Amino acid sequence: MNMLKIVAVPMHPEGRKFVTIFAIIAVLLALVWEPLFWLGLGATVWCYYFFRDPARTVPQRAGLVMSPADGVVSLISEVAPPPELGLGDTPVYRVSVFMNVFNCHVNRSPMDGKVTQIAYHKGKFVNASLDKASEHNERNGLAIEGAEGHRIGVVQIAGLVARRIVCFVKIGDALKTGERFGLIRFGSRLDVYLPEGIQPAVSVGTTAVAGETILADLRADQTPVQSVNI
């Protein structure tokens, strides 16, 4: 872990109180036994690193669906979108990006569009890498409709460690591709439901970067592009 890179990256405001708590605990540990301070300091640095919010270079070409999260593509399957998002019941491709505790957890909009639905559900906290997490875990879903009528779903899913999903937007808001719309604390996953007939441009095991990795191409007259990290 390059310490200079960590310090140079800005932290999302959501992380300030957590870093402060970790730092206070580190000071208290120093009063108990000095070696414990270094453990606390390491935990504080990790917390800052977890809430980092780096700038991203977002492709400007229309029709691309970008990854909403940093992580690894853990699942690709054809399933019906969550009914609460109003995207119909026809099975479509779902691309799941799993974030571990070392990934950046700021979530970004996969495409330009208007938020037409937001639905939060309480749930369990099973391992977010499992397929059943989409149905059983705590989650917050958004439906986004683009200018050309394409609609996608993006669902924030809590994991084993995550206990708090944060969403910054509301129904009716307009989002730009790569714009920050939320985050999940301490390990989780995001599911993207593509429009009917659209094929994914990634495969399981692909390392994704939020706002930079292409998940799919919505242009009907184009062959889906291969995933790239810019």
For CA atoms 50, 52, 57, 60, give the dihedral sign.
positive
Spatial contact of 65 and 215, defined as CB atoms under 8 Å apart:
yes
DSSP SS3 for 75: strand
Catalytic residues: 188
Helix (H) / strand (E) containing 219: none
Distance, CA of 38 to CA of 56 (rounded, Å): 32
| Residue 189 buriedness (CB in 10 A; 0-12 / 13-18 / 19+) | buried
Cα(73)–Cα(225) distance, integer angstroms: 16
CA 97 → CA 15, 129, 136, 140, distances in Å? Answer: 22, 9, 17, 15
Encoding tokens for residue 126?
């099973």
